[in-house]
A = this chain, B = another copy of it.
Amino acid sequence: MCSLPVPQEPLRRVVVTGGTHGNEMSGVYLARHWLRTPVDLQRPSFSALPMLANPAATAVCRRYIGHDLNRTFTNTFLISKATPDEPYEVTRARELNQLLGPKSSSQAFDFLLDLHNTTANMGTCFITKATDVFAIHLCHHLQLKNPKLPSRVLVYQLSQDETYSLDSVAKHGMTLELGPQAQGVLRADLFSQMRSLVASSLDFIELFNQGTAFPAFEMEVYRFLGCEDFPHTEDGDLAGMVHPQLQDRDFEPLRPGTPVFQMFSGEDVLYKGDSTVYPVFINEAAYYEKNIAFMKSEKLLVSIPALPGLTPVPTPLT
């Protein structure tokens, strides 16, 4: 797989987005707080821009109004011609692409950190592309800074797929996913944790901007493999639910033959895959409509190359 080039210059244009999903409250209220009080996002070499990504959905406390914004940053949507009846989020994605991109261009923001919550028991999860070496160094930095916090890295990109999430608009990016937290609820513990992880992320960018080099390392990552649907009745209704033995077991190994669903009739459904997988986003509220009971990942040990320090700009002779 190709790696994105590592930055050759300081990252000056950094954005922290909350409310990409309007009912994921940690990011919504952090973004609102920073819009009033931006001092937390200032560092000597840059200031991160706080942004509420989907203000219309946030105002009504829903994930989205017409289309999931975090699935809308494909070229198809971004270069489509505006129409009067398009979903709100298609218009908004185009606006955000103008403000923060254009995607894949040299004008794009240097880094985008997107803040999310899940109803799944995922703890702290960093989601990024396998090819974004800069972002993976950031994940590693956050793990080293928070040794007591169980945090995992989920790499989410199938080789042939076009990226579709908000963080793909910038040159480098990461999604921070904290759970479990119910939609529409703001928990003080997760709010503080997210605030502190954002601060450490900006500190990492500052270190890089100041010329710090980061050595190579090995890291455990979970790589997205595919999705598992719920059991359904013939007329398309749910026929069962996530098995109590699977509920809340995100990132734990799921072996073939283990119960995954409990039917309303009482019967257990066993996992039919032919190898052990690591489920994530188990029983996420927003994924019922996407027919996803959980996502499957594999656990890998990967070698990440060093992130070279920036070459100091020579001071002109006087």
- Residues of chain A having any CB pair with chain B under 8 Å: 29, 32-33, 36-37, 61-62, 119, 180-189, 191-192, 233, 237-238, 241-244, 247, 262, 264-265, 283-286, 288-289
Output the least CB separation between A115 and chain B (Å). Answer: 15
A32 touches B237 (CB 8 A): yes
Interface of A is mostly: loop
Candidates B32, B188, B285; contact of A242 at CB < 8 Å: B188
Given A33-B264, A182-B285, A285-B183: A244 and B189 interface contact (C-beta under 8 Å): yes
A-B contact pairs, 27 of them (CB 8 A): A29-B241, A29-B264, A36-B233, A37-B265, A61-B289, A119-B184, A119-B185, A181-B182, A182-B182, A182-B183, A182-B185, A183-B183, A183-B184, A184-B286, A185-B285, A186-B241, A186-B242, A187-B241, A187-B242, A187-B244, A187-B247, A187-B283, A188-B242, A188-B244, A189-B244, A191-B241, A192-B244
A185 touches B238 (CB 8 A): no
The answer for the CA separation of A244 and B187 in the assembled complex, in Å, is 8
Copies of this subunit = 2
B61 touches A288 (CB 8 A): yes
Output the least CB separation between A208 and chain B (Å). Answer: 28
CB-CB nearest in chain B for A285: B184
CB-CB nearest in chain B for A28: B238
The answer for the CA separation of A289 and B37 in the assembled complex, in Å, is 24
Apart from A187-B244, A188-B247, A189-B247, list 4 A-B contacts with CB within 8 A. A29-B241, A33-B264, A188-B242, A192-B244
| A183 cross-chain contacts in B, Cβ below 8 A | 182-184, 285
| A247 cross-chain contacts in B, Cβ below 8 A | 187-189
B238 touches A184 (CB 8 A): no
CB-CB nearest in chain B for A286: B184
| A284 cross-chain contacts in B, Cβ below 8 A | 185
Given A237-B32, A247-B189: A184 and B242 interface contact (C-beta under 8 Å): no
Of the listed residues A185, A189, A242, the one surrounded by the most CB atoms of chain B closer than 10 A to its CB is A185
The answer for the CA separation of A210 and B193 in the assembled complex, in Å, is 57
CB-CB nearest in chain B for A34: B264
